[in-house]
A and B are shown apart, each in its own frame.
Chain A
Amino acid sequence: MVRFDHVTKIYEGENKAVDDLSLEIQEGELVVFIGPSGCGKTTSLKMVNRLESVTSGSIYVNGRDINKVNPVKLRRDIGYVIQSIGLLPHMSVADNIGIVPKLLGWPAKKIQNRVDELMEMAKLPPAKYRWRLPDQLSGGQKQRVGVLRALAADPPVILMDEPFGALDPISRNVLQEELVELQKKVQKTIIFVTHDMDEALKMADRVVLMRQGRIEQLGTPAELQNSPATEFVRNFIGEDRLAQLSPEDPVEGLYREPWLLVSPKERPGDVLEKLEDLGGDTAQMLDPRTGKWLGMIHMPLLKKTLRSGGELKEALRKNRKLYVEDANLRDVATLLADQDIPIPILREDETFLGIITSSDMARLAIGRLGRNAKGGA
């Protein structure tokens, strides 16, 4: 939906604000850009609707190179919510929401219907709030109107630049939840900039953590929390957020690539040889067509099968597995304590996702031990 292709931005006489950024954002995805001040997150956002120019590289929105589209026209097709809300103080709530449809030349009746529909959706009764001025609204209500204004012309892509930054923590929380709910309903592609890690982890489908114009880590909130790629990411996320892992946490983001994937047709001898070469002791068997999990091969059983001259199928274990939808860290730990071999993680439809080993769990535990020591000091 939105694709950054080797995008670089250099302000005159300064360092690279954005340095060779490549990123593809899927339709309906909520991607949060986060990082310290000056990391290029806001610049990246503003390049999408051409409020900032691109120095080199290109950005595609809906398959179109934005540099080949008239900027005014482009901006009318992209929702925009600004840091300080930016509701025009001399226009009523309804007029503010209707700005972009009016610019697009919708008939008055259609604009009014659309405004009413949106206000109903955000629980702002139109009869009561339609003609109010922005100054007559609370901070949270203003921000809601700001979001509605971005939705008004039904753009597929919405840019949000620290929209909740100026709110008190309670309203911020409410609005974050509302936005996530809303997003489920309207399925827009949203690029969201913030400096608030809690906000990012709470709302994002994927988080883009930036530093000095580059992507430091890109992943789901769980991936960032469970396996920060660098020391910088670890520090930026904050030790206490990493520590928020509880036994009830999902295993999402914790699993990784298995050592070896095999197909049902392979011979037991070949698999054993491969395993010995890799120094691993388990392999996962997948259906080569569907990617569904068929079972796990464990070295001792494989050797036994080989001795008795059986087929590879006979060396399969099928009972040891967890489903990503309902498994939590406690389940993983219990299984690993019972027997120290990796646990395959599947989706409910038996699609294979990855494995969790005891060393993965140990790494999590190390993080926690470190923090406890710090907390005690």
Chain B
Amino acid sequence: MLQTKPFWELFYNYVVRYHERILNLTWQHIMISAIALGITLVVCIPLGIYLTKKEKLTPYVIGLANVFQTIPSLALLGFLIFIFGIGNDNAICALFLYAMLPVLQNTYTGIRSVPQSFVQAARGMGMTEMQILMKVQLPLALPVILAGVRVATVWIIGTATLAAAIGGGGLGRLIFSGLASIRNEVVLAGALPATLLALAADQGLKIFQASLDPKNRAAKLAKRRELEA
């Protein structure tokens, strides 16, 4: 059949007509991504810290995360159907496995790269191991850890579109149904918000990262206190 209307008009009409559905799916997409990211952070940051204390385990744990990383994401989702069946649980679990590596690796590397002299000085002054971690190692490693979180976030938001392939929600629904019905305007209606989400999250975290950089923070603190005084 001959396409009678130009593409952009079709897209515009679709968005106007189905904006509620798009928003709804975007919200689902955000929720899936947020939950997956949350699990990743809660598991991988403490695990990364733990690995700095148990060096022997490190190659195995990071190696395992690396394996998950190298499995193509669609295949990983397929595997997990055997465990979780179809739906969002499966997708979230796959996203978590997929995003483990950058967070784990950067937490481990970030803490390891804090110069030993700082740790020695802190210990010599009478900080407990917990205080050394909270007051010295984590603040100094934060920029590196956040860089890992940024990578993981973008990956998760991007890969979350595949959740639709195994019966989950999110913007992937639009993309897959658009592909199936050869309607490019529907594909774009799903792809565009997903891309924007990923870019926005990346930029947001970048700004957050800059503001949390220990040196920036200390400089700001200094300025504020100077004004108070």
Contacts and interface: CB of A to CB of B under 8 A. Distances in A.
Same complex origin of A and B: yes
Interface of A: 49, 51, 72-77, 80, 82-92, 99-100, 103, 131-133, 135, 149, 159
Given A82-B117, A86-B117, A89-B214, A131 B124 contact: no
A131 B126 contact: no
A80 B217 contact: no
Contacts of B221: 92, 131
A75 to B, nearest CB: 4
Contacts of B223: 131
B215 A88 contact: no
A107 B218 CA distance: 21
B124 A51 contact: yes
Nearest to B127: A103
Contacts of A80: 121, 124-125
B118 interface: yes
Nearest to A91: B218
Contacts, number: 77
A215 to B, nearest CB: 24
B20 interface: no
B77 to A, nearest CB: 41
Contact of A75 (B124, B140, B215, B225): B124
A92 B215 CA distance: 9
Contact of B117 (A51, A73, A84, A100): A84
A131 B225 contact: yes
Contacts of B126: 72-77, 100, 103
Q: What is the interface of chain B mostly: helix, strand, loop, or mixed?
A: helix
B123 A75 contact: yes
Given A88-B118, A89-B215, A131-B226, A99 B125 contact: yes
Interface in B180-224: 214-215, 217-219, 221-223
7 contacts: A75-B125, A76-B125, A86-B121, A90-B215, A92-B222, A133-B215, A133-B222
Nearest to B115: A84
Contacts of B218: 90-92, 133
Most buried by B among A92, A131, A135: A131
Contact of A72 (B117, B127, B139, B140): B127
A75 B132 CA distance: 14
B139 A90 contact: yes
Contacts of B115: 84
Nearest to B124: A80
B127 to A, nearest CB: 7
Most buried by A among B136, B215, B222, B225: B222
Contacts of A90: 139-140, 214-215, 217-218
A125 to B, nearest CB: 13
A196 B117 CA distance: 21
Contacts of B215: 89-90, 133, 135
B9 to A, nearest CB: 55
B131 interface: yes
Contacts of A131: 221-223, 225-226
Given A82-B121, A85-B117, A90-B140, 17 more contacts: A51-B120, A51-B123, A51-B124, A72-B126, A72-B127, A74-B126, A76-B125, A80-B125, A87-B121, A88-B136, A89-B118, A89-B140, A90-B217, A92-B221, A99-B125, A100-B125, A133-B215
Contacts of B125: 75-76, 80, 99-100, 103, 149
B10 interface: no
B132 to A, nearest CB: 11
A131 B140 CA distance: 18
B123 A88 contact: no
